[in-house]
Amino acid sequence: LQSYTGPARIAARRFLGIAQRVPSPGNEGSWGPVPVTSITVNNQVLNVDADADTPLLWVLRDHLSMTGTKYGCGMALCGACTVHVDGAAMRSCVLPLRQVLGKSITTIEGLSKDRSHAVQKAWLEIDVPQCGYCQSGQIMSAAALLKSNPHPSDAEIDAAMSGNLCRCGTYPRIRKAIHRAAELLAGPAK
Amino acid sequence: MTELADRGRRDFISAGVAAGGGLLLGLTLSGSGKRASAADGAKSARTASQLNAWLKISADNSITIIVDRSEMGQGVYTALPMLIAEELNVNLDAIQVVAAPVGDAYVNPGNGGQVTGTSNSVQDAWEKLRAAGAQARMMLTQAAAKHWHIDIGECRAINGTIAARGKVLTYGQLAAAAAKEPIPKDVKLRPRSEFQIIGKSRARIDSPGKVDGSAEFGLDVKLPGMLYAAIAQSPVLGGKVKTLDSLAAGKMPGVRRILSTDSGVVVVADHFWQALQARKTLEISWDPGVNLPLDNELISAMLKKTAAAGAGLTARADGDGTGARVREAALQFQLRAAAAGARDHGAHELHRRRQGERLRPLRRHPGSAGGANNGCRGGGS
C-alpha cells in the first residue's frame, strides 16, 4: 500500500483524507530514459526504448503505461489486445514494434477523449461489459468493423468479431451494441 | 502494517466525524455469517480490523462507501450501493464506491484473507448495508429534529435531504451533527413491497471505465521501480526442479535475477516481455513427484472410496418419509468452468454459461438483492 500508486489507492487515500504523495520523477519505472525510437500513438509521437522485436502490446502497457489494451493469450487468439494500426484492427500482442514504426496507432485511450465515440456510447447504452477485461479489444474491433461496413448484418458482425473472445459471454449485447452504434453513426433518425 | 490501517484503528471505529466534517459509519462485511452492523461495530471496537467497509457522508453532500470486495464482473460495486441507497433514501447515482486498498483493516474475518468469492458478497451485505443505510438516515433525521427543535416524527428523509414543516436540510449539511448522534439500535428495514431500488435493473456503475480503458485490473497495477517476473512451474502439481541451466536466460536483455523456489524458477526482468523471452531459454528437468499418476480416474476412485467409508452428510431432512418413493442414484459432477448466477424478480431464476440461458425458476430465498443489470450475471460473488 505504501508504494502502490494506482487509482484505487489514490481514491482510497482521498477518501480517508490522507495527503497524496506524488511519485518522484525518474522513479516511475526501471527503464532508462534514453529513447531509441519513436512511435505515433493516439496522434502523439512518443519515445520508447524497447527492442524492435518487442510486441506493441508491451510497448503500450509497460513502456507507455497505457494499460487499457489488455494481455490475454499473447498469441493473437483472443483479441483482448486489439488496437488500430492505420485504422485497421490488429492484435498488438504479436505485432513487433518494428512493424508499426511510421504508422498511426490508436488504442482504446485514444478512441475518444470522453467516451463519445459511437461505439462507446452504444456500449454504455446497452451496458455491455461484465468483468470488462476483453471489452477494450471488443470495442476496437467493433469500431474498425463499422468503419469498413457501416451497416453490418448479424452474420457480418459475428464473422468480424469472432476473433474477440468474451469469457463472460456478453456476445448478444455486443451484437446489439454494434447495431446501435451503426444507428448512431448514421445520424439522427429520419 | 500501514498508515492506512493505523488510521483505521484510530478513526474508523463505528460512527465518527469524517475528515472535513461528515458522518462515518464503520461496518463489517465478514463472510462469516455473523451479523454485524454499525451498532455491533461499536461493540467490537477493540477489533478494528473487522471494520472493513465504511459509509461516509461529507459536508459537500457526497456519499461514499469503501468496499473490500473486488468488482470482477459480478456487479458488486453496483449491488452493494443499491442496498445502502435503498435505506438511506438517496438516488443510487449519489453514491460513489471506492475500492479498498490492500490492508489489515480489510481482511475478511470469515476466511482470514482479503478475498472475494463463494458468491457471498450480496448475501453477506444484504442486511448489514441496509441497516447501515437506515442507521445513517436515522442519525441524520435525529440531527435535523434537534436542529429545528421539533419532534423526530415530523421529519422525513427525502432523496438526500431531511424535510419538515416546509424546511429542508441536505444530508451534507447535517452530516457533522449526525456523527454526534447515538447509533440507533432498533433498526426497522423496509419491507420488500416498498423497495424502490433493490430488485430493479440499472446500468452498472463500473461500465464507463470499462469502455474507455481506464478501469484498473490486477495486471494494470504499477509500482514505482517495479520489475516483472515470469515463472516456470512443474507440469505436475507439487513437482520440483531437478536440474536447471539458466546461463542463456541470465544473458538475455533486461534480465535482473533468476531465482529458484520450491516449485519452480522465476525470471525477473525490467519488462514482462523480456522475462517471458528469457523463460523460454531455461533448461529445466523436472522431478514430477508423487502426483505424477494423478488423473481424473484416480481422483474419482479416491472420492468413491472416501464416500463409501464415511457416514456422509445430511443436506436436508424434510418430512418423515411416509409414503415416499425412494430413488437411489450415484451422481458425479465434474468441476464446471462455467459461471452461474441467480436473479430475483418475484421468482428466482438460475442462469449459467451465458446471459439469457435460463435454466429454471428456483424457490425464493431471502438473501438476494437481485441482478444489478438486465439479465443475470456470471458467478463471482
Residuewise pLDDT in 10s, chain B (381 residues): 223 333 333 333 355 666 556 787 766 554 333 333 343 433 333 233 334 467 889 888 989 988 878 888 999 999 999 999 999 999 998 899 888 877 776 766 667 777 787 777 888 788 888 988 999 999 999 999 999 999 999 999 999 999 999 999 999 999 989 988 888 888 889 999 999 999 999 899 999 999 999 998 989 988 899 999 999 999 998 999 999 999 999 999 999 999 998 889 999 999 999 999 999 999 999 999 999 998 888 988 998 898 888 877 888 888 887 888 888 887 776 665 455 555 555 555 544 443 333 444 444 333 333 333 323 333 333
Q: For chain B, first and last CA: distance in Å?
A: 27
Q: What angle do CA B17, B21, B24 make, to 5 degrees?
A: 40
Residue B286's CB: how many other CB atoms inside 10 A?
A: 18
Q: What is the pLDDT of residue A153?
A: 97
Chain A residue numbers touching B378 (CB-CB < 8 A) = 130-131, 168-169
The one-letter amino acid code at B199 reads G
Contact B213 A51 (CB under 8 A): no
The full DSSP string for A17-43 is TPPP-PPPTT-S-SS-S---EEEEETT
- The CA distance from B155 to B181, in Å, is 16
Q: Are A54 and B273 an interchain contact pair (Cβ–Cβ within 8 Å)?
A: yes
**Distance between CA atoms of B313 and B6, rounded to whole angstroms?**
44
Q: What is the 3-state secondary structure (H, E, C) of B347-366?
A: EEEEEECCCCCEEEEECCCC
pLDDT given at position B27: 64
Which one-letter DSSP state was computed for residue B326?
A: P
Pick the residue with more confidence: A57 or B1? A57
φ/ψ of B80, rounded to 5, equals: -70, -45
* Cβ within 8 Å, pair A62-B374: no
Average pLDDT over residues A22-35: 40
Cell numbers 456478453 correspond to what residue? A170
Q: Is the pTM of this model over 0.95?
A: no
Q: In what order do the strands lie in the sheet with B228-233?
A: B228-233, B264-269, B255-260
Q: How far apart are CA A157 and CA A161, in angstroms?
A: 6
Question: What is d(CA B136, CA B130) in angstroms, rounded to the nearest whole number?
Answer: 10
Cβ-defined contact of A15 to B56 (cutoff 8 Å): yes
Nearest to residue B82, comparing CAs of B378, B341, B373, B380? B373
Locus of grid cell 519505472: A29
What are the angstrom distances between the C-alpha of B33 and each of A96, B110, B120? Answer: 52, 8, 9
Picking from B161, B141, B162, B160, the residue whose alpha carbon sits closest to that of residue B152 is B141
Q: Nearest-CA neighbor of A173 among A140, A142, A149, A147?
A: A142
Residues of chain A found within 8 Å of residue B224, distances taken between Cβ atoms: 3, 5, 23-24, 27-29
For residue B148, the tally of other CB atoms under 10 A from its CB is 15
Report how far residue B278's alpha carbon sits from residue B353's, in angstroms, rounded to the nearest whole number: 37
Alpha carbon distance A16, A92 (integer Å): 39
Report d(CA A8, CA A17) in Å as an integer: 14
Written as one letter, the residue type at B174 is: L
B98, B210, B219: residue with CB nearest A129: B210
User: Minimal Cα distance from B104: which residue of A?
Assistant: A1
Sign of CA dihedral A108, A112, A113, A116: negative
Which among A101, A94, A108, A105 has a CA at the least distance from the CA of A35? A101
- What does DSSP say about strands B63-67 and B95-99: parallel, antiparallel, or unpaired? parallel
Predicted ipTM of the assembly? 0.82
State whether A68 and B7 contact (CB < 8 Å): no
Q: Which residues of A171-184 are buried (b: 16+ CB within 10 A; e: fewer)?
A: bebbbbbbbbbbeb
Strand ranges of the sheet holding B347-352, from the earlier edge strand across to the other edge: B340-345, B347-352, B358-362
Tell me, what amino acid is at B207? S
C-alpha cell, A79 = 483479441
Residue of A nearest to B227 (CA): A30
The label of the residue with cell 436542529 reads: B147
- Rounded distance, CA B64 to CA B24, Å? 10
Give the distance, in angstroms, between the CA of residue A28 and the centroid of all CA atoms in the same chain. 22
Other residues' Cβ atoms within 10 Å of the Cβ of residue B94: 16
B341 and B376 Cβ atoms separated by less than 8 Å: yes
Query: What integer pLDDT is reported at residue A142 of this predicted model?
Result: 98
Whether B203 and A124 lie within 8 Å, measured CB to CB: yes
Contact A30 B18 (CB under 8 A): no
Residue B155, Cβ neighbours under 10 Å: how many? 22
Nine-digit cell at B273?
516481455
Task: Tell the residue number behind the cell numbers 458425479, with chain if given.
Answer: B332
Sign of the C-alpha dihedral computed for residues B352, B353, B359 and B361 taken in this order: positive
pLDDT given for residue A2 in this prediction = 39
Which residue of chain B comes nearest to A53, CA vs CA? Answer: B273
Longest Cα–Cα distance in chain B? 83
Q: Which three cell numbers stand for residue B289?
A: 513427484
- Give the H/E segment covering residue A16: helix A7-16
pLDDT value at position B314? 82
Residue A83, classed as helix, strand or coil, is strand
